[in-house]
Chains A and B, each alone.
Chain A
Amino acid sequence: MVVAEGRPGVSAQRPAGLAAGDAGRSGVLLLLVAALAATCVLSVAAGTRTIALGTVWDAFAHFAGTEEHVIVRELRVPRTLLGLLAGAALGVSGAVLQAVTRNPLADTQILGMNAGAALFVVFAIGVLGLTGIWSYVWFAFAGVAFATVLVYALGSIGRGGATPLRLTLAGVALGAVMSGASAGIRLVKPRAFDYLRFWDVGTLAGRPAQIAVAVAPFVVLGLGLALAAARSLNAVALGDDLARTLGAGVVRTRVLSVLSVTLLTGAATAAVGPIGFVGLMVPHAVRRIVGPDQRWILAYTMICAPILLLGADIAGRMLIRPAELQAGIVTAFLGAPVLIWLIRRRAVSGR
Chain B
Amino acid sequence: MNGVDFGHRVVVARGPGPLSVRFGARTALVCAGLGLTALAVAVLGLGTGEFEVPPGEVIGALAGQGSGATRLVVVEWRLPRVLLALLVGAALGLSGAVFQSLLRNPLGSPDVIGFNTGAYTGVLVTMLLVGRDYHQTAAGALAGGLLAAAVVYLLAYRHGVHGFRLIVVGIAISAILASVNQWFVIKVQLQLAVAAAIWGQGSLNTVTWEQVPPVAVAVALLTAGLLALGPRLSLLAMGEESAAALGVRTERTRLLYLVIGVALTAVATAAAGPISFVALAAPQLARLLTRTAGVALAPSAVMGALLLTTSDWLGQRLFAPTQLPVGVVTVSLGGLYFAWLLARPMRKAAP
Instruction: Enumerate chain A interface residues (CB-CB to B < 8 A).
Output: 1-6, 11, 103-106, 110, 154-155, 157-160, 165-166, 168-170, 172-177, 179-181, 183-184, 186-188, 190, 193-194, 197-198, 200-201, 276-277, 280-281, 284, 325-326, 328-333, 335-337, 339-340, 343-344, 347-349, 351
Contact = CB atoms under 8 A, between A and B. Distances in A.
A86 B339 CA distance: 31
- What secondary structure prevails in chain A residues at the interface with B? helix
Interface in B104-124: 104-108, 112
Contact of A169 (B175, B284, B330): B284
Nearest to B168: A343
A335 B175 contact: yes
Contacts of A104: 164, 167-168
Given A190-B190, A197-B186, A105 B328 contact: no
12 contacts: A1-B106, A2-B104, A2-B234, A159-B350, A166-B342, A169-B338, A172-B335, A176-B331, A179-B331, A183-B201, A281-B172, A340-B172
Interface in B336-351: 336, 338-339, 342-346, 350-351
Contact of B338 (A172, A277, A326, A349): A172
Interface in B293-345: 293-295, 322, 324-325, 327-332, 334-336, 338-339, 342-345
A170 B350 CA distance: 13
A177 B237 contact: no
B341 to A, nearest CB: 8
A71 to B, nearest CB: 25
B51 interface: no
Interface stretch (B5-13, B32-40, B83-91, B191-199): B191-199
Contacts, number: 205
B169 A343 contact: yes
A242 B175 CA distance: 35
B182 interface: yes
Interface of B: 100-101, 104-108, 112, 155-156, 158-159, 162, 164-165, 167-169, 171-173, 175-176, 178-179, 182-183, 185-186, 190, 193-194, 197-198, 201, 234, 237-239, 276-277, 280-281, 284, 287, 293-295, 322, 324-325, 327-332, 334-336, 338-339, 342-346, 350-351
Given A3-B100, A6-B167, A105-B171, 9 more contacts: A4-B239, A11-B164, A106-B107, A157-B342, A160-B346, A160-B350, A180-B329, A332-B176, A336-B173
A153 to B, nearest CB: 9
Given A187-B325, A193-B194, A166 B167 contact: no
Question: Which among A169, A326, A337 has the greatest number of chain B C-beta atoms within 10 A?
Answer: A169
B176 A180 contact: no
A159 B346 contact: yes
B337 to A, nearest CB: 8
A13 B284 CA distance: 29
Contact of A280 (B171, B237, B281, B350): B171
